[in-house]
Chains A and B, each alone.
Chain A
Amino acid sequence: MTALLRTTGLRVAYGDMRVLDGIDLEIARGEFVALVGPNGAGKTTLLHAVAGTAPLCGGNVDIAGHDLAKAPRAAKQAIGLAIDPPSLPALLTGRECLALFAGARGLPAIPQATLALGETLSLIPVLDRRIASYSLGMRQKLGILLGLIGEPPLLLLDEPFNGLDPRSALAFKSHIVALVAKGDTSVLLATHSLDMAEHHATRVVLLMDSYVRRSWDADELAAMREHPGLSLEKAMADACGS
């Protein structure tokens, strides 16, 4: 399979603090990779390094055959990063924000598919309200829509289910599982929801102490789902050494 994302020796540090140290990761088209690990392991930083919004100290990020450092525009055409709710512009309405992102992606208008997902997530009725008046859940939904706008082949999602009501969470989960099942979209999901990782991911990667400590492939995950004595929670606890 062709790698849609390939990181080689990726290193990120904030001042003297090393956050990622030599991360090698490959994601093929149609893969759903869940990134798990304790708080401060560097999951969010890895997503931002792949999205080009965190400065790299070393290593390479290659997206759809384009080096992120040398050809950032071509590389970023292939990614969609769900926006962190606090970063959303309070002075714009949800619809204006979507139009801004559509423009940045070179689209003439907000795509119909984005509005359809907005309808599924019950966000359409509030799209013309200012973001300042949105609840956490509404902001989370808008952040998700902004990441998915233009249907980029690689989705980068950081705890996207935080603040979502159960109905919306289920609808969004079904949506990304369907996208991955079609085979054109890959997902890199940073999450603490081991249930989501175990049941829907095709690979789980444990990030710890700035390194990839362990990963579980589709067969191992299938075995965990089949045998009641096995679980990702237990496997992760073993890998973490506790």
Chain B
Amino acid sequence: MPETETFYGVLRAQGVTRRSFLKFCSLTAAALGLGPDYVGQIAYAMETKPRIPVLWMHGLECTCCSESFIRSGHPLAKDVILKMISLDYDDTLMASAGYQAEAILDEIPKKYPGEYILAVEGNPPLNEDGMYCIVGGKPFVEKLKSVAANAKAVIAWGACASWGCVQAAHPNPTAATPIDKVITDKPIIKVPGCPPIAEVMTGVITYMLTFGRIPDLDGRGRPLMFYSQRIHDKCYRRPHFDAGEYVESWDDQGAREGYCLYKMGCKGPTTYNACSTVRWNGGVSFPIQSGHGCIGCSEEGFWDNGPFYSRLSDVHGFGIEANADKIGGVAAGVVGAGVAVHAGVSAVMRARNKSHKGDASGSDQSTEKDKGHKGDQQ
């Protein structure tokens, strides 16, 4: 009876001891940043809840989200795929192809109506009747809508599904469109980034499996637990920013001493993500630690907010340093203002989220948040 099998039941069936199971639960709690009090709650949830089918569809994308996902160290991608969820469709990993693969997209929604999770990597192009992305001879957008119809919830993996990403950058020749513009009647959890951090991806899934609900989201659909803080706020180089110590050119003494990369175009001050806290690939580093500024890859439209090495949108023959110096003084003030705006917005959001728990659409909230967002970027 696979429909009624619990997560714990499957683990037990696979020879995992109760002791290992509890250890797993405490690791899960740690991965989610939860205290030991939650271990029991996680264990209870996993003992009583069935394995949830996940259909992972790919539109226009580069597969970086899938690649990131399999980098997850805790939990291991292997354990997520084979033990926690039932990854019934994922064209990157699945054994079957052709009509045997397509059949799964028909079968699962019928077998588990309202119970499966749709995970979307990439986005649908709408120009040319959707035929810039064809799956099984038909427009991807058509399949996407049809599989979404009976889903319990939808995860938008990465910048493509969340915002549009690189193919939607100006002039967006294919009309690549974020999924919340074509799926309008389901809760959508946006997990932006190009790609998102592996442990953020598995953290979102594990949270949903464990607590049986979608995580608290901000007004733009992002999990608060990973996207509430700016990279700048928790950056290990922040003391250098505050002290006015900047990298002035690549590989200068400041670069070798780990000074702030703000003048090199770092978008950390305007980017909401967990890179400076969770870090990448098992905590090895994150972009700023490795000497390059943040390019803001979890922000909407970041491709058109560049150039990446300048705060100015247009460079008329000025040197980059001249620009950075010129802007740096002004921008430092703006960033300060941005912090205040952000703090205010966050408080508003927290209050609102209490009454909108799990509501991912949040169209009424986005305007207010947008103000703070834009204010940060001026």
Q: Do A and B form a real pair?
A: no
